[in-house]
Amino acid sequence: MEERCLPLSTQAHATQSFRLDGKVAVVTGGASGIGRAIVQRFASGGAFVRILDIDRKQAEAVALDVVSAGGNASALQCDVTSRENVKAVFEQLFRKERVQILVNNAGISHVGSLETTTEQDFDKVFQVNVKGFYNCMQASIGQMKANGGGVILNMASIAGSSGLADRFAYSMSKGAVIAMTYSVAKDYLESKIRCNCVSPARVHTPFVDDYLQRNYPGKEKEMFAKLAAAQPIGRMGEPHEVAALALFLCSDEAAFITGVDYPIDGGFFNLRG
């Protein structure tokens, strides 16, 4: 059988796939974990990345790493739960550049059932994981509309659509993220603003290591193996794998995709026994 070759123009385009050259991308919670991986992947894809994080020192360290590697990044301290702070930070950005991509990643976790979740715990999770996303989307949506469109990517979780034990408040917050994603995607179709979300299963981040050290001292390796085995694929996800999906969804190759919740879960949702 004769092998078909792609036209040179198509081959050249393929080698440049999933690029964000010259686009300004804001990543909240970009100082660690999945957020940090997204910052690094976007920067390597040509984006000008603006890292928003409550930890200024760590955010600046990540930005320095990116710049040292030849990328473009800067850090701004931001408390996503504060409407005033978020508005001020985005206005500062808008005075210098057009923000084309927003990745809502800043979030916290919580372990507890309905009965063991205090009102204070519930409110804290809501403030960061729901109101924080709302604050950042509302701060950026008008500018995106005025400049011909943009991309919003929200970090959700399989907890938002699957029943997970002892994740009452966290599941509530991520379910809200999924619902907000659908709503924004629907309302801003004509404004050429795409909005999707990503729902990871358990991903190996410093949070996991800290959780095991805090709750299972001396048994970290045993518990890590147990948590990894809970994924049908037999391991936890890695931050760079989530970042790769984020890059695709924010690139022009995903221009026909909006209003979608993408699971990246090692088969957790559909393949559990």
Angle, in degrees to the nearest 10, between helices 168-187 and 119-126: 30
Closest CA relative to residue 30, chosen from 11, 49, 10: 49
**Complete edge-to-edge strand list for the sheet that includes strand 193-200:** 72-77, 48-53, 24-28, 99-104, 150-155, 193-200, 261-264
Task: Count the neighbouring beta carbons within 10 Å of the beta carbon of residue 216.
Answer: 14
Identify the DSSP state of 54: S
Q: Is 25 helix (H, G, I), strand (E, B) or coil?
A: strand
DSSP code per residue over 161-227: TS--TTBHHHHHHHHHHHHHHHHHHHHTTTTTEEEEEEEE--B--HHHHHHHHHHSTT-HHHHHHHH
Shortest CA distance to 73 belongs to which of 11, 139, 26, 126? 26
Respond yes or no: is residue 170 known to be catalytic: yes
Per DSSP, 2 falls in state P
CA–chain centroid gap for 241, Å, is 12
| Active-site residue, from 134, 170, 211, 262 | 170
**Active-site residue list:** 170
